Structure 1
Amino acid sequence: MPSNGSKEADDSQTWELAERCLLPIAFSHAIAVILATILNTFGISQTSSFVLFLLLLVISVGSTLFYHNLKVTAAGKAILITGCDSRVGYALVKQLDDLGFTVFAGFNNKAENEDIMQKLKDHASGRLHVLQLDITSERDIHSTFLYVNENLPDGAPGLWALVHAAAWVTLGECEWVPPSVLKRSIDINFIGLARLTQVFLPLVRRSKGRIVLISSLLARIPSPVRGIYCALKAAVEAWGSCLRLEMRRWGVDVVIVETGEYVSGNAWLKDNTALLEQARDMWTQLDPQTRKEYGQELFQAEMLALEKYTQGPEADLTAVTRTLMDAVVKTFPMRRYTPVTRSERIQALCNHYLPKPIYDILYTN
């Protein structure tokens, strides 16, 4: 995680282009070798495979870059975004509204976010719709579906995109988390997300649109104190990958945006004090014997670990919102975006390729 006083450059776009171009480059080399062999064998031409490779490389990479940067028109397209009371959801609503999309902004609790909603309305166009949408409420989900279906732009066959920005971060030792907190975290981060998608898929399918899921690099990196969050993000990624395969026949894209650990530990949290109070409540709910085995000293150390992910300057969301915008507006979005820092990307690679004992020595305190 980058320190509070420094900011690492965002090189995620470079990685995205490299991922896009890798397969065309490999195919260009293979086809060049095959063509050169055929031409030389039959005496048709003595052109070298390297010259053919350069020619095919220019054609394939140029076509890939054109394909990579194509964007859809915003007119007549509607987007539903959940969790607009978070910084990332709020920023995304503003940017998509500015581009000309019809945006349905879902707030978990309208009564608690009246100031934010009014500010959003004051700076947005008349196309913006602000909705009450608690994704754990079946009533909210169905009332939102009816409202969206009745207020689609003229001529729109369905919903262009469903963006899941709602999240609820649960931090603490796996043994500490009480059943009520565990259930709420599962309901918001996975069950509510899956249920909302089920209800809205017919609308998305009609427009051959896309589902955008916000995950985290922690889905692939084990992290003490954040075990529940790691598990739920891993579940979202696995579920999203299966959904993508199932939706291919309908022309529906499922895009996973995998954020960095600092962003997912800070940007979705509105009240850091409440988070620390929640952790203390977890501690007091443990039975006395378990508290004795862990000890007050370890608990204090864990509190400091929580503050590391919740205090300090606000996380820079530029890279995250940029990738979310790409996931919505690109004609051919990537299956996965990873707007993370270089050190986080290296950590993920080490976790994937290094033996686990070596990784634990390098990254686990």
Structure 2
Amino acid sequence: MDVQTALVFALQLVALFSIAGALLLYLLCKIRGNSKPDENGTSPGGGKPVLITCCDNVVGLQVAIHLANRGFRVFAGLKEGATEGCNNDDSVPSRVIRSWQKHRESTECLTTGALIALPIDVTREDVLHEAVDIIRAHLPAGKDGLWAVINTGGLLYRGKLDQQNISHWDAMLKTTVLGILRVTRAFQGLLRSAGGRIITFGAIEGGEAGLVAYTASRYAVEGASNALREELSPMGIKVVCLNNHGLPDDLMFAMPKLKSKQESGDVSVDMSGCLDYYPTALSDTALQTLDVAITSGKPKRNYTLMRNPKWLNPLQFVKVV
């Protein structure tokens, strides 16, 4: 081999190794970029365990699926079918969760996200204590803590104060306010172990005729969150309250419905075989705000979810991806 041929061959090798090195560097940067916080301070879930107390409504179900897709290990509380462990429950939330699980199993997805349904009734301490044991059993070896507990349970009954049944007041306060206190007491140990956080949906701005008791329950949640923040701070537990101004009250705790094919009446699925349901509750911006609240090392006391509520279309469908 003459000198000129050898030189050309050497240059080709240098170019080849340069391309390979550049490609390797790009892949390393891509991997590191996916594991670092983005410009909003959020980062992938990394398998962190999170409990959503109620996925029977559209807010809880949407948050659960969103966080599971973000890589969190989500425990989705379902009141329906609690005695059967939710596996045989035919409710819409349970079917949607099972479709997410089946789709994830059928695709060789490398994400650490998971969605685990478990029975939770925030009005029953015995069920809450059983849920603690179930979560502990599903945590990875050596792990004994929850990164976050997101309180999405609640009730809304409309009616003027002088006409409304007092039992409706009791039910709203028992579920919305006392439910958060019961959940906090039951899961305090798991939260303390992980230095976790409690997230609540607090007061709405203003008020509306026919929603006096409901509005009172929302402000009570915010007041309880402030007091819990002071009490739990020495234990390393953070408390974050989300302001849901702009989110329609009736949509907050609406029950999800499956989208059906108009012609055949069959349940609609997307291209990957996952179930479609509606309505949409939280906008993309609201979900990004939630991401910040749940991933920030030093979260704020309060976040506003709906900065531009005009976007909302209550009939917009949510696609389970």
Q: TM-score range by the shorter chain?
A: 0.5 to 0.7
Is residue 186 of structure 2 the alignment partner of residue 199 of structure 1?
yes
Is residue 242 of structure 2 the alignment partner of residue 257 of structure 1?
yes
Unaligned runs of 5+ in 1: 1-65, 273-312, 345-365
- For 1:336 and 1:158, locate their aligned partners in 2 and report how far apart those are by CA, in whole Å: 24
Partner SS, residue 85 of structure 1: coil
Q: How does 1:224-239 map to 2 (within 5 A)?
A: 224-239=209-224
Q: 1:340 aligns with which of 292, 300, 306?
A: 306
Q: 2:225 aligns with which of 213, 235, 240?
A: 240
- For 2:40 and 2:250, locate their aligned partners in 1 and report how far apart those are by CA, in whole Å: 31
Q: How does 1:128-207 map to 2 (within 5 A)?
A: 128-207=115-194
CA-CA distance at 1:179 after TM superposition? 2.3
CA-CA distance at 1:241 after TM superposition? 0.5
CA-CA distance at 1:269 after TM superposition? 2.0
CA deviation string 1:72-116 (max 9, x = no partner): 552342111011021111111112111221111001213765343
Q: How does 1:292-303 map to 2 (within 5 A)?
A: none
CA deviation string 1:223-259 (max 9, x = no partner): 3211111101111101100111122222221010110
- For 1:117 and 1:233, locate their aligned partners in 2 and report how far apart those are by CA, in whole Å: 27
Q: 2:297 aligns with which of 331, 334, 350?
A: 331
Is residue 231 of structure 2 the alignment partner of residue 266 of structure 1?
no
Q: How does 1:84-123 map to 2 (within 5 A)?
A: 84-110=55-81, 113-123=90-100
CA-CA distance at 1:261 after TM superposition? 4.6
Give the equivalent residue in structure 2 for 1:317.
282
CA deviation string 1:308-352 (max 9, x = no partner): xxxxx95651143332232212222221111234689xxxxxxxx
- For 1:342 and 1:100, locate their aligned partners in 2 and report how far apart those are by CA, in whole Å: 27
CA deviation string 1:18-43 (max 9, x = no partner): xxxxxxxxxxxxxxxxxxxxxxxxxx
Give the equivalent residue in structure 2 for 1:302.
none
Give the equivalent residue in structure 2 for 1:41.
none
Q: Which moved more, 1:317-326 or 1:134-143?
A: 317-326
Query: TM-score, normalized by length of structure 1?
Result: 0.59
Q: Which moved more, 1:187-196 or 1:333-342?
A: 333-342
Letter in 2 for 1:232: S
Tell me: CA distance 1:71–1:185, structure 2 relative to 1, closer, same or farther (3 Å). Answer: same
Letter in 1 for 2:234: R
Tell me: CA distance 1:341–1:71, structure 2 relative to 1, closer, same or farther (3 Å). Answer: closer
Is residue 90 of structure 2 the alignment partner of residue 82 of structure 1?
no
- For 1:189 and 1:151, locate their aligned partners in 2 and report how far apart those are by CA, in whole Å: 27
Partner SS, residue 128 of structure 1: strand
Letter in 2 for 1:240: S
Contact 1:152 1:159 in 2 (8 A): no
- For 1:68 and 1:335, locate their aligned partners in 2 and report how far apart those are by CA, in whole Å: 20
- For 1:132 and 1:260, locate their aligned partners in 2 and report how far apart those are by CA, in whole Å: 29
Letter in 2 for 1:161: A
**RMSD across aligned C-alpha pairs, in angstroms?**
2.7
Q: Which portions of structure 1, spanning 4 or more consecutive aligned residues, are displaced by more than 4 angstroms?
A: 313-316, 341-344
- For 2:224 and 2:135, locate their aligned partners in 1 and report how far apart those are by CA, in whole Å: 25
Question: How many residues are aligned here?
Answer: 237
Contact 1:92 1:325 in 2 (8 A): no
Partner SS, residue 337 of structure 1: strand
- For 1:264 and 1:154, locate their aligned partners in 2 and report how far apart those are by CA, in whole Å: 41
- For 1:74 and 1:102, locate their aligned partners in 2 and report how far apart those are by CA, in whole Å: 8
Letter in 1 for 2:293: A
- For 1:122 and 1:168, locate their aligned partners in 2 and report how far apart those are by CA, in whole Å: 27
Tell me: CA distance 1:100–1:155, structure 2 relative to 1, closer, same or farther (3 Å). Answer: farther
Tell me: CA distance 1:77–1:342, structure 2 relative to 1, closer, same or farther (3 Å). Answer: closer
Q: How does 1:38-49 map to 2 (within 5 A)?
A: none
Contact 1:169 1:269 in 2 (8 A): no
Identical counterparts, % of pairs: 25
Partner SS, residue 69 of structure 1: coil
